[in-house]
Structure formats: C-alpha cells, structure tokens
Chains A and B, each alone.
Chain A
Amino acid sequence: MISKKLVEGVDDRLDASSFIARNLKKVFPDHWSFMLGELALYSFILLVLTGTFLALFYVASPELTTYRGPYEPLQGRPVSLAYNSVLQLSFEVRAGLVMRQTHHWSALVFMAAIVAHMLRVFFTGAFRKPREISWLLGVGLVVSGIAAGFTGYSLPDDLLSGVGLRIAYSIAQSIPFVGNWLASVFFGGEFPGTALLPRLLALHIFVMPLAILGLMSAHLGIVWHQTHTQFKAPGRTEDTVTGTPVWPKFALKSVGLGFVTFGVLTLLGGLFQINPVWFYGPYVPYSGPSPSQPDWYAGWLEGLLRLWPNWEFTIFGVTIGELFLPAIVVPGIMFTLLAAWPFVEARFTGDHAWHNFAQKPREAPVRSGLGAAGVALMVVLFLAGSNDVLAKYLQIEVDTFNTVLRWSAFVLPTLAGAITFIVCRDLRDRPRHPIGRPGAMTVRRTAEGGFEELHDAADEVRSP
C-alpha cells in the first residue's frame, strides 16, 4: 500500500524529502505520563466519528409530533421532533444506541483525560517558558470541551437537560444590565424560547468542534516544534531530547493506543447505559426530576450553586442576582487564574529561563502545594454537586453534609496544600528515597554538647 514509488511520487511533487526525513526521525520521550494527552486526542477523534453518524439522524426541531415508536411508556405522547429523533436512533436504528452511548462516554472520558493531562503538565512544571502558549491553548480546550459537552447533551430535548438549560438561562439573566437581554435574544424570547435547538446544534457540531480542532492542532503543532519535555536522568541535558523516533515505533505505539482507546470507549458504549433519555421523558417546563445533575465536568459548578449562600443585593437600583457570583464571577476568576498561572509563577519565582526538563512535583513544593489545594477544592465542589445522591447511598443528611462541605471548602484545601508542601519539601531535601532509607537515625554529638542528625550517615561514618 505504502510503496517506495508512492513516497517518491509525493516527494517529487511537494519537495518534501527533507521535511519527511527530519520529522519521521524526530524522537519523542516515552514516559507513560506523557501519553495522557493522547487519550484526549483519540477520544476526540472518536467523538467526531460517532458524532458524524449521530448528526445524520438528529432533527434539531422543537416542533411537536406524536411518538409512535417501540418504547411503550411514551406511546401516543406529544414529543418534539428532536426528542423523537433521538429515541428513533436509540431504539429503531441498528447500532444507533451503541453509537450514541459511545459518543457520550467519549465526551466524559475526553474531559477526564484532559484533566489528567492538565494535572500532569501542572505538577511537572511543563507549562514554563517556552510552553506558556501551549498551556493557554490547553485552557481554551478545557473551556471548549465543557461548552461542547453542555450543548451536546442538551440536544435530545429531554426533561433533565432542559432543566439544565433553564439554569443556564437564569445564570445569563443574573448578569447586570445585559443579562436579561442576552438570554432573551439568544434563546429567542422568554424561556424556553423558540430558537434554541437549532442554535445548540450549530454550536455543537460546527463551532465547538472547529474551535477544539483548531486549538488542538495549534497545541500539537507547538509541542512538535518545541519538542516535548522530559524528566531528568543520567545523560539527558536541557538541549537534547531522548526517546523513540516517530517512525515506525512511536507512531505505531500511538496508533495502537488510539485503537485501544476506541475499544475501551465502545465497550463502555455497549455495556454501560448512559443518559437514558427515555426515562426522563420529553422536556416540559413544569416538571423537575431528581436527582438533577449535569455531566461530570460541570459538577464543580453544580457544587458551587448548591453551596453558595443565598446572598442577593440591590445597589443603586441594580439587583445582583444570587447566581451572578457563583456562576459567573467565581468561574471567571478560576479560569483566569488557571490561564495566567505560568506568568504568575514566573513572576513570583523570578524564573524566566527556558526549561525543557519536566520536574518531579517535589522539586516545586509551593506549586505542588497550591495545586493540591486547588484539586482539593474541586473535589469538595464535585462532592457538593452530587450531595443528594451521596446522601442517599451513604445514608447521611444532605443538609448536614452541605454544612460540612462548606467548611471543607476552606479546611481541606488548606490541609491538602500544607501537607503536600511539607511532604514535597521533605522529599526534595532528602537525597535518598524515604522508603529506601534505613529505619534508624544516626546522630552525632557536637563539640558544643548538642546532637545533630547525620543525613548521609553511611558516607559520613565511613570517612574519618
């Protein structure tokens, strides 16, 4: 299939020989933690493939029809054409349900992989100069991913996602001066509005995928151009990169990982039920089921909304709705801080040097401590977003749980940050791995009469 003649033919027309030679021989470091980003990439590819299939069946219309498909509890009920098309796809199209479920699982795992990858980059300092641009593109990918997911799961026009749209409308409304206007204009009037589904579709299958594709291509291109970071080891320097050449080994490993990713996602798609919209029924504005949560990657926002106190104030006749702070201001601060982090850290450490080495988390105790604090806060928010489900399974009181979580939002990040900082600093300052250390401690009596611990006890005792 790929013959020498073909390669020569392409090269002849594009003058590509040096380009091909250089890039196919490029080496990439092999560390397992560098493959997390690829998981996100391959999840995205599967999203596009399965999404294309879904787009061929979905009807983005709120117009009503009567359900006449095989799902008995909806027989004869008025449903929107959108909801109807999703039910048809799920129950009447061969492989429709596995495609739909694979698509949704891929979205959840896409976001999970992005977060895992982002944490790896953060805790190893791989965002430092010259890679700040890649970091900014990455933050853009997180936001685009959340937007793509939200617009996507709202397309079936079911009761649960419709309630989520109502919350989004209310959040928009809370913005001073322009909120009501923005919400009404975009939704096509008072909620639920007349214009929403086709617009969600345009965003979900066109605008967001373009944004993600663009950001991802730039992100990968820059990584390629700047070469990947690597961990310190004997023989490695700042100016060299050690690893596996792209062709054939690295590329085939990556493609293999891609297929395995597809396999895991399709396994989920076939065996684990996700978003069974038939239970929720078509969206009607006067019903609200519980439990009521968005997809996991918006769970932190859900937690903020559940924990935030009921403060609402009016200043000079302008009412700041209760939702404005937890749903607009706080997330705005969070993402701004996230995006600005490489520059903030460089400012504080005074380190503007070029770095090609990835650090072990212990080498940057302050950053690791702050990162751990951030993760702990997110964990508290995710728990808060799931509070009623957790209360049901753990047999605890929701209201008490909320109070505990509110305190935890301050206490846990502080604790996690402090503990991480201390552990990292201690690990960094000890030349040997703590588990490898002998249990005993050697002390030496000083001339002044006190005692001091010997760190490199073995070495110091040996030399007179």
Chain B
Amino acid sequence: MSRPDRVVAGSFIVAILAAFGLFFVYLRGGQTQLEGALLFLTLGGIGTGLLVWAKRLMPQIVDETQSRHHEPVSEHDQEAAAETVMGGVGELKRRTFLSRLLVGAAGALGLAALFPIRSLGEVPGDTPFFTKWKRGSRLVDVGGNVVTRETLKVDSFTTVFPEGSVGSADSQAVLIKVQPELLQLPSDRAEGAPEGLVCYSKVCTHAGCPLGLYLAADHELRCPCHQSTFDVLNGAEPVYGPAPRALPQLLIEVDDDGTLRAMGDFTEPVGPAFWNITDGPA
C-alpha cells in the first residue's frame, strides 16, 4: 500500500473504531468530553480519509480548463428578452385606470396586512411612565421581608420592591445607606432620604440593565453592561459612561414603627429614554 493509501485506510479504521467507542460510551450513560473526542475521531476520520483520497489517490486533474460559457448577450437577444418582459408589463400599463386601481388595491392590502402586527401585543400607553410604587408602599427585599431603618448599616445596600410586587422589572430599586452628612441632594429630594438611606431606581438609564455594582468607598453605582457609573451622594447623576440621565430617585420616609415606605412613585420615568419621555403621561 502506498503512503496515501495507508493514511486513508487508517483514517477510516479510526473512524470505525471511534464510532464503536461512541456506541459504548452511550450505553454506559454518556460522558460529554468522551463523546466530543470520539465524534471528532469518527467525523474527522471520515473527513481526513476522503480528503487524502481525493487529493492524493484520485487522478491529479487540477488544471483542466473549460470555457465559462459566457457568451455576451447579443443586443438582439437582450432586446427580445426585454420586449417579452416589458410587453407583458405594457399590457397592464395600457389600461391606465385599471392598473392604478390594481396598485391601489395592492397598497391597501399591504397596509391591512400590517394590522396583525398590532395583535402581537399590548400598546405601551402610559405604562412606561409609571411603576408599581405608590404613596405608602412598604419597601420589601427579594425575599419579601419588610425593610426597616435597622436593615442596613453604613456602606451597605440591598435591592427593594414595593410590597406585593417582588421581582417587578420596572419597580426594582436599590436602597443604600451612607453617612447622612455626605448626601448632597437638593432640599426637595433630601427629605426623601432620611437617616442617610437613599433609594434609586435599579434600572440603568442607558440600556436598562440592573445596576449590580455598588462601589461603597466611592459611593458609586455602576452598571455591569456598559460601565455607566452614578454618584449616589449627588442624586445618582452619571459621572462616567454612556448613561445620559440620573437615576430616578424613590423618595422614602420612616414609619412610626421604623418600616420604610415610599412617598410616591419615582421622580422620573425609569429606564432608558423613549421619544415622548418629556411629555409625561397622557
């Protein structure tokens, strides 16, 4: 046997053995790495065998030349073809009134065909402007436990929701405790951040990712997606990255028994902007 012959034979034999191996591994319950390796040997064996066979054992016809069979289309033929096509088109165009009506019908059908898109789902209406937070909503954590003034120490944070809507995508908020004297909120916002407890929307105003990073020593919230960074002490104004707007704040107050309650919905619509965000709800 010549050398290529041996390579081809060997490849196919490896493929056969590996296929049996696969069968065996499969019977024994399967194992991902073995399956991958044996598939590689089976498929690669067949492939290598074929490649070497084709390249080395088959007649070396690599320089056969053929015409590309491109006869430049004669003007006469092109004219004839164009006339055939345009002749048919002309038949339609000849009846101007009817063909315009046809176009109108097609257009109307096209427009009508767009309507099922509307059936796909709900129109947004006012929903982007509101979340589930209401005046008096108690703050609860992911486990549904009520959050009180004692829950957090300075430099700590947790994710909060309005009671009854744990896991709500638009209502999610992050509650942070800082040293009260460090906060630099305007007076109307400062009232909603008692005892150094400040609460912001957790939905990044850039592309909507949840803000998972709190860099406590720098008092910054950072987004894992595109690194937008917000200054917690200063109304969550963006200080780095592509986020264009501050995080909406959730003004909170401390109840008589120490529980934290929202004073209303967020100060602005949450999340990234949409075209009529400045209009406000209808």
Contacts and interface: CB of A to CB of B under 8 A. Distances in A.
A and B in direct contact, judged by CB atoms within 8 A: yes
Contact of A249 (B32, B58, B127): B58
A169 B278 contact: no
Contacts of B122: 184-185, 188-189
A262 B47 contact: yes
Interface residue tally on B, bucketed by range: 35 or more
Classify the secondary structure of B's interface with A. loop
Contacts of A235: 63, 65
A271 B169 contact: no
Given A262-B39, A286-B161, A322-B273, 9 more contacts: A166-B209, A184-B122, A242-B65, A243-B62, A270-B35, A285-B172, A286-B167, A321-B275, A399-B227
Given A94-B29, A256-B54, A310 B244 contact: yes
A69 to B, nearest CB: 15
Interface of A: 25-27, 30, 94-95, 97-98, 101-102, 163, 166-167, 169-171, 173-177, 179-181, 183-195, 199, 226-227, 235-236, 239-245, 248-250, 252-253, 255-264, 266-271, 284-292, 302, 305-312, 314, 317-323, 354, 356, 387-388, 398-399, 402
A102 B39 CA distance: 11
28 contacts: A30-B62, A95-B30, A163-B225, A171-B207, A175-B275, A176-B275, A185-B122, A194-B121, A235-B63, A236-B65, A242-B63, A242-B64, A242-B66, A243-B62, A249-B58, A249-B59, A252-B54, A255-B50, A259-B44, A259-B47, A262-B43, A263-B44, A284-B167, A292-B224, A306-B226, A317-B276, A356-B68, A399-B227
A189 to B, nearest CB: 5
B64 to A, nearest CB: 5
B255 to A, nearest CB: 24
Contacts of B32: 97-98, 101, 270
Given A95-B30, A256-B49, A291-B224, A311 B212 contact: no
Contacts of B37: 267, 270-271
B61 interface: yes
Nearest to A291: B224
A422 B219 CA distance: 51
Contacts of B225: 163, 167, 288, 292, 305
A422 to B, nearest CB: 35
Contacts of B172: 285-286
Contact of A95 (B26, B58, B168): B26
Interface string B206-224: 1111111100000000011
Contacts of A194: 121
A194 B263 CA distance: 30
A253 B207 contact: no
Contacts of B213: 290
A447 to B, nearest CB: 49
A256 B208 contact: no
Nearest to B242: A310
Given A227-B68, A292-B209, A292-B224, A177 B275 contact: yes
Nearest to A293: B225
Given A170-B208, A319-B274, A322-B206, A256 B47 contact: yes
B102 interface: no
Contacts of B121: 184-189, 193-195
Interface in B145-186: 159, 161, 167-170, 172
B67 interface: yes
B64 A190 contact: no
Contact of A179 (B30, B227, B274): B274
A193 B223 CA distance: 22
Contacts of B45: 263
A252 B52 CA distance: 10
Contacts of B62: 30, 243-244
B34 interface: yes
B192 interface: no
Nearest to A398: B227
A98 B224 contact: no
Given A287-B210, A290-B224, A306-B227, A244 B67 contact: no
Most chain-A CB neighbours within 10 Å: which of B26, B35, B70?
A: B35
B202 interface: yes
A159 to B, nearest CB: 10
A256 B276 contact: no
Contacts of B277: 319
Interface string B89-130: 000000000000000000000000000011011111001100
Contacts of A102: 36, 39
Nearest to B72: A354
Contacts of A312: 244-245, 273
A94 B33 CA distance: 12
Contact of B36 (A94, A98, A250, A284): A98
7 nearest interchain CB pairs? A270-B36, A259-B47, A263-B44, A256-B50, A260-B47, A285-B169, A290-B224
A406 to B, nearest CB: 12
Given A26-B66, A240-B65, A292-B225, A285 B274 contact: no
Contacts of A291: 224
Contacts of B123: 181, 184-185
A270 B168 CA distance: 38
